[in-house]
């Protein structure tokens, strides 16, 4: 990570290994010398990244004519996020106006020694790192840092990161690479194996029921119907999912009551539940087709 001794200016790493560009011709830190550059690491199924995009768009609108260049370095967490067509569609859907670089091989991510989505690196007009911010929030401080580097003073955009309860459910991955254990047992016969959910759920654990297969990055439902249960504490539940064989409908219930449905038509993050208050609840997703479930995130 780009951390140095107080008073020592660190030269920015280079943007490298980019597979493609959206909204721009290829850019580098070297060719942008004389400009102030804001490098934002993001990925399109990350809810924390998505919530920062309106601020980035506003800063692009306010300061691009005054010497600021924003580069959204799209570094994938999941394999489908490395595909140009998926990122291009997400950029259009999210209304992103500034340049986006596809860092699908994570080479720029590694050159910056970065560890976070989102992460912001503000680079001065001499190519040195002037300011860092990791995660959501810090919007006023980031905008003031931009203004300091541009040598101007303007009213900052109002905003703050959403607050969280200390016991909010954590991001939970479905694939075995980052999953700490599924809650259901496997029952096997000559015909094959299936997960069986016997109830009695502990919080923050995924309980599959049906013919699911756990792969490195996701749980895949091989034969519908299938169900996933998760006991959570949050106001909002987002699930990263992708259809495995055409659009899939997911019926959503909370505490045993139907609250709606979601159609999984593309690999993306889907908000399946939202409320104004925190509470310990049980979420059940019931799928009518083959689907891949990557992660649960909460707000």
Q: Which sequence spans correspond to the domains of the chain?
A: 21-150, 172-298
- What the block records as the tokens of 52 is 């920062």
One DSSP character per residue, 36-97 reads EEEEEEE-TT-HHHHHHHHHHHHHHHHHGGGTEEEEEEE--SSGGGG-HHHHHHHHHHHT--
Using a pLDDT cut of 70, give the percent of the chain over it.
96
Structure pTM?
0.92
Look at 94-98, 137-141, 164-168 and tell me which has the smallest mean pLDDT.
Answer: 164-168
Cα-based distances in Å from 122 to 99, 131, 235? 15, 5, 32
Give the Cα separation of 171 and 164 in Å (integer): 13
- What the block records as the tokens of 60 is 């692009």
Tell me the three state secondary structure of residue 208.
strand
Nearest CA to 39 out of 162, 129, 122 is that of: 122
Mean pLDDT for the chain overall: 94
Give the Cα separation of 207 and 231 in Å (integer): 9
Question: Is the pLDDT reported for residue 164 higher than 80?
Answer: no
Which band of pLDDT confidence, cut at 50, 70 and 90, is reported for residue 161?
Answer: low
Is 178 in contact with 195 (CB distance < 8 Å)? no
Per-residue pLDDT of 25-37, as tens digits, reads 999 999 999 999 9
Question: Where does 21-150 sit in CATH, by number?
Answer: 3.40.30.10
Look at 3-12, 25-34, 145-154 and tell me which has the smallest mean pLDDT.
Answer: 3-12
Q: Provide the edge-to-edge strand list for the sheet that holds 21-22.
A: 21-22, 100-102, 68-74, 36-42, 119-123, 129-134
> How much is the average pLDDT of 205-218?
97
Is the domain spanning 172-298 CATH 2.60.120.260? The answer is yes
Euclidean distance between the first and the last CA atom of the chain, given in angstroms as a whole number:
27
Which band of pLDDT confidence, cut at 50, 70 and 90, is reported for residue 7?
Answer: low
Cα-based distances in Å from 231 to 183, 203, 207, 227, 257? 11, 5, 9, 14, 14
Query: For position 1, what pLDDT does the model report?
Result: 54
For 93, phi then psi, to 5°, come to -65, -35
Tell me the three state secondary structure of residue 108.
helix
Burial (CB < 10 A; 0-12, 13-18, 19+), residue 7, is: exposed
Give the Cα separation of 62 and 134 in Å (integer): 22
> How much is the average pLDDT of 268-292?
97
Question: Is the pLDDT reported for residue 153 higher than 90?
Answer: no
For 88, phi then psi, to 5°, come to -60, -45
Per-residue pLDDT of 230-272, as tens digits, reads 999 999 999 999 999 999 999 999 999 999 999 999 999 999 9
- Find tokens 């029921």 and name the residue: 209
> How much is the average pLDDT of 260-286?
97
- What the block records as the tokens of 131 is 């300011």
Give the Cα separation of 286 and 297 in Å (integer): 18
Whether omega for the bond prior to residue 118 falls within 30 degrees of 0, making it cis, is: yes
For 139, phi then psi, to 5°, come to -65, -40
């Amino acid at each position: 990570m780009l951390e140095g001794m107080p008073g020592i200016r660190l030269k920015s790493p280079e943007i490298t290994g980019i597979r493609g560009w959206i909204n721009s011709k290829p850019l580098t830190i070297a060719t942008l010398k004389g400009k102030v550059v804001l490098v934002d690491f993001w990925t399109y199924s990350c809810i924390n990244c998505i919530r920062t995009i309106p601020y980035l768009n506003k800063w692009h609108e306010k300061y691009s004519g005054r010497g600021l260049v924003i580069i959204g370095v799209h570094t994938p967490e999941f394999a489908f996020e490395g595909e140009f067509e998926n990122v291009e569609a997400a950029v259009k859907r999210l209304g992103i106006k500034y340049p986006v670089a596809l860092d699908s091989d994570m080479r720029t991510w590694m050159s910056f020694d970065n560890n976070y989505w989102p992460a912001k690196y503000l680079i001065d007009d001499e190519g040195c790192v002037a300011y860092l911010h990791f995660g959501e929030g810090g919007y006023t401080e980031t905008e003031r840092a931009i203004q300091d580097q541009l040598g101007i003073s303007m009213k900052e955009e109002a905003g703050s990161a959403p607050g969280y309860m200390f016991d909010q459910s954590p991001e939970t991955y479905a694939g075995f690479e980052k999953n700490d254990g599924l809650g259901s047992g496997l029952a096997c016969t000559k015909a094959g194996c299936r997960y069986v959910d016997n109830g009695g759920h502990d919080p923050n654990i995924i309980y599959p029921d049906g013919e699911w297969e756990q792969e490195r990055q996701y749980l895949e439902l091989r034969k519908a119907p299938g169900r996933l249960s998760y006991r959570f504490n949050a106001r909002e539940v987002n699930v990263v999912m992708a259809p495995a064989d055409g659009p899939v409908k997911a019926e959503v219930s909370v505490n045993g009551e139907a609250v709606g449905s979601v159609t999984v038509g593309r690999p993306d993050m889907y908000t399946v539940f939202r409320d104004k208050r925190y509470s310990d609840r049980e979420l059940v997703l019931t799928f009518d087709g083959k689907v891949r479930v990557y992660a649960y995130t909460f707000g």
